[in-house]
Each structure stands twice: as structure tokens, then as C-alpha cells.
Amino acid sequence: MQIKRIARYDQKKSQTELDKLKVKISSINKSLKNITGYTISYLEKIKEKYGSDYPRRTRKKSFDEIRVQDVAKKQKVGWDRKEGFLGLNLKQGSTSIFCSPYDKIVVIRKDGTYQVIRSQKNSLLEKSDKGLKIGFK
């Protein structure tokens, strides 16, 4: 008799645990069907819980406000005075400036004329050490 009572008690306990697990499984399946909504609500709960302790450190900005020119990678533009070349592939004996592909380079010659060019592979300027000035904007 004692064994039947214990077995019946364990059966009731097991049945209640099984019912709880079935309810939990059904709620998880609902969450998986709507994973985007579940994720958003989960993140909102985290924000409500911890938001006041950890304030935002970044700024919100729309993509329209960010200019491509501001985030473009800077390239090393070399100027070889002796050969008269200006470009990206120059290494030896050259003066270097860093500018993006969107920057314009101003070349001012000794006679007062100037030329505005974009940074490119190589440009032939003058073979002169004196009178040629380079700048960029």
C-alpha cells in the first residue's frame, strides 16, 4: 500500500512538471515564430532595466548626414621633385601628403599659373625643384 501511494504521488508531481514544460515549450514556439518581435521586446526590457545605469556614449545620426568624403580612406600621395611626377605609387625621394580620393590637389607653378587635379596614379608636372608648390583641399 505504501508503495502505491508514493508512486501515485510521484505520478502527480511528474504530471504537473510535464504540464509546466508543455506550456513553456508552446511559449518558446510562439517566440520563435515571431523572432523579430521577440528580439525587439527583449532588447527593450534590457534597456528599461539597465538604461539608466549605462547612458549612451554614441551619437545617433542618419546616413544622409554623413558625407562620403569625410569617411574616405586617406591615401599617401607622393611628389618626386626631380622627375616631376605626382601620384600614389611614388616612394623614393618624394615628399608625401595624405589626402582622400575626393580631395583636389592644387599645383602652383613658378610663372603663377595653377592646376587643380585629383589624386590619381601618376601625373607628370615639371622637372623643377624650385617654384612648384603643392597643396590640397
132 exposure class (CB count in 10 Å sphere: 0-12, 13-18, 19+)? middle
Of residues 29 and 73, more confidently modeled: 29
Helical (H) or strand (E) element with 23: helix 2-33
Confidence (pLDDT) at 36: 94
Q: 90 and 41 share a domain?
A: no
Quote the domain boundaries for residue 126.
68-136
Q: 44 and 75 share a domain?
A: no
Count of the separate structural domains present in the chain: 2
List pLDDT tens digits, range 46-105.
Answer: 999 999 999 888 888 776 777 777 777 777 777 777 777 777 776 666 677 777 777 777
Q: Is residue 63 part of a domain?
A: no
Q: Is residue 60 part of a domain?
A: no
Q: 117 and 76 share a domain?
A: yes
Indicate the range of 16-20, 64-68, 113-117 predicted with least confidence: 64-68
Q: Is residue 26 part of a domain?
A: yes
Q: Is residue 57 part of a domain?
A: no
Q: 94 and 37 share a domain?
A: no
List pLDDT tens digits, range 69-80.
Answer: 777 777 777 777
